[in-house]
Amino acid sequence: MFEAIDAEPFIARIGERGSTHCAKEAFVVREDEVAPPKEFKCVLRLGKPRPGEIGIPKDLEYLCVGDILRVNGPAREIRVLYRRHSPHNILFFTERCNSRCLMCSQPPRAVEDGYLVEEILETIPLMSPETQELCITGGEPTLAGENFLEVIEATKQWLPQTSLHVLSNGRLFSIDFARQIAAIGHPDLMFGIPLYSDVASKHDFTVQAKGAFDQTIRGIMNLERCGLRVELRCVIHKQTVERLPQTARYIARNLPFVNHVALMGLEMMGFTKTNIDALWIDPADYQSQLCAAVRILTQSRIMVMIYNHQLCVLDRALWPFARKSISDWKNIYMSECDECASRNQCGGFFASAAVRHSRGIRALKNVRGDNTDLGSSIGA
């Protein structure tokens, strides 16, 4: 019998026979395989578990050596914290947030969830040093304050070759806080911060927080003053699309130092579903604004990328800017994509796209790369 079954919830990395770290590791066996020695923290079995083992549900059959789990012993529940071979691992800091964005896919909750940071700090040393990138997200991760700094420090110590991408609304980056982050000296750190309009009131309306625009701009400036890199993010919807070109011009004139700008499609989750009528606009109907914004940014020598859009909907001139940006665990394709010549180059859809997607979805006959010059496209 493995005592871990009756213990408090614990974190374990999936190991293999002969491991020298088995006291911290779980072991996965197939239905008829023989379990390993008791030194392993627990045994997870694909199929019906035997006494002292934990059964792996069908949707977790992909688990492999190096993945990290949180196991709730008494309930025998498994939550995957990290997948060694996935490029889309996240560190989820908190459900709390000081904004309440109209299209938030992870609606905030006022809960006490400090255990999440403790869980992250326990997980980081177990991760593979070959991990290419981690994304810090929430909620608003900077609400963790000193604990936020501690996690940045831990990733530098244990994963020095791993890129770290922090998603934040940017409102809490005082100059002192920015200096504390910079002093850690993380070698590959990027902050993804949203800017939804060049007009303060429109940005504030989108995030449902008065004064948020000024706080965000100051935060971006403070990060830049401390030598920290910033990616600007603009989610395109009915409230932001009209002034998308003007927003691009504002960025080019006032924030030309940003590393790049991401122009993003909606994810049909959380508050987006609640506010769908106020947010939804078919991407096929805003290609002129999108082309104009990309042209302004590229002419200002600012790198621009288009996330969460399908190639068949984008103006051909925008194809070189499109990226496969959707995390693998929520990335799908429609039946129309089956015969598409550009499927392998297209980013596809969020799994939630069944709620609403463009009328322009169709199979393409030409592969990606058959594009026109941006200067001759719609909106130029």
pLDDT in tens, 180-231: 999 999 999 999 999 999 999 999 999 999 999 999 999 999 999 999 999 9
Residue 378 pLDDT > 80, yes or no?
Answer: no
Percent of the chain with pLDDT over 70: 93
Contact criterion met (CB below 8 Å) for 324 and 311: no
Cα–Cα distance for residue pair 55/217, rounded to 1 Å: 49
Residue 15 pLDDT > 50, yes or no?
Answer: yes
Query: What's the chain's length in residues?
Result: 380
> Cβ–Cβ contacts within 10 Å for residue 332, how many?
13
More confident residue, 155 or 31: 155
Residue 24 pLDDT > 90, yes or no?
Answer: no
* pLDDT for position 7: 60
* pLDDT for position 47: 81
Write the pLDDT tens digit of every residue in 274-333. 999 999 999 999 999 999 999 999 999 999 999 999 999 999 999 999 999 998 889 999
* pLDDT for position 3: 45
Buried b (16+ CB within 10 A) or exposed e, 9-26: ebbbbbbeeebeebebbb
The verdict on 58 and 122 lying in the same domain is no
Nearest to 318 by CA among 341, 350, 295: 295
Q: End of a domain among 82, 104, 122?
A: 82
The verdict on 106 and 167 lying in the same domain is yes
Domain that holds residue 127: 89-376
Q: Which of 74-88, 250-264, 330-344, 360-374 has the lowest mean pLDDT?
A: 360-374
Residue 40 sits at the vertex; the CA angle it makes with 36 and 41, to the nearest 5 degrees, is: 140
The verdict on 24 and 172 lying in the same domain is no
The verdict on 310 and 213 lying in the same domain is yes
Buried b (16+ CB within 10 A) or exposed e, 100-120: ebbbbbbebeeeebeebbebb
Q: What phi and psi, each to the nearest 5 degrees, are found at residue 163? A: -70, 145
* pLDDT for position 34: 83
The verdict on 68 and 107 lying in the same domain is no
Residue type, 184: I
The secondary structure element, H or E, covering residue 303 is none
CATH number where 211 lies = 3.20.20.70
The verdict on 27 and 77 lying in the same domain is yes
Residue 100 pLDDT > 80, yes or no?
Answer: yes
DSSP output for 37-74: -TTSSEEEEESSPPTT-EEEPGGGTT--TT-EEEEETT
Contact criterion met (CB below 8 Å) for 30 and 46: yes
Residue 263 pLDDT > 60, yes or no?
Answer: yes
Residue 375 pLDDT > 70, yes or no?
Answer: no
Structure tokens at 135: 């994304």
Report the chain's mean pLDDT, rounded to a whole number: 91
Q: End of a domain among 32, 61, 82?
A: 82
The verdict on 66 and 173 lying in the same domain is no
Give the residues across from 111 on adjacent strands. none
Cα–Cα distance for residue pair 100/218, rounded to 1 Å: 19
Cα–Cα distance for residue pair 293/83, rounded to 1 Å: 36
Q: How far apart are the first and last CA of the chain?
A: 70
Q: Which of 95-104, 105-114, 278-287 has the lowest mean pLDDT?
A: 105-114
The verdict on 38 and 109 lying in the same domain is no
* pLDDT for position 254: 98
Please tell me whether residue 235 adopts helix, strand or coil conformation: strand
Structure tokens at 321: 């800017």
The verdict on 154 and 28 lying in the same domain is no
* pLDDT for position 369: 52
Count the domains in the chain.
2
The verdict on 314 and 267 lying in the same domain is yes
The verdict on 95 and 74 lying in the same domain is no
Give the pLDDT mean for 154-159.
98
Give the pLDDT mean for 261-285.
96
Structure tokens at 66: 């190096």
Cα–Cα distance for residue pair 130/277, rounded to 1 Å: 44
* pLDDT for position 105: 93
Write the pLDDT tens digit of every residue in 41-98. 888 888 888 888 888 888 898 999 999 999 886 667 899 999 999 999 999 999 999 9
pTM as predicted:
0.90
Residue 139 pLDDT > 50, yes or no?
Answer: yes
* pLDDT for position 370: 44
How many CA atoms are closer than 13 Å to the CA of 318, on its beta-carbon side?
Answer: 34
The verdict on 247 and 340 lying in the same domain is yes
CA 20 to chain centre: 33
Q: End of a domain among 33, 49, 82?
A: 82
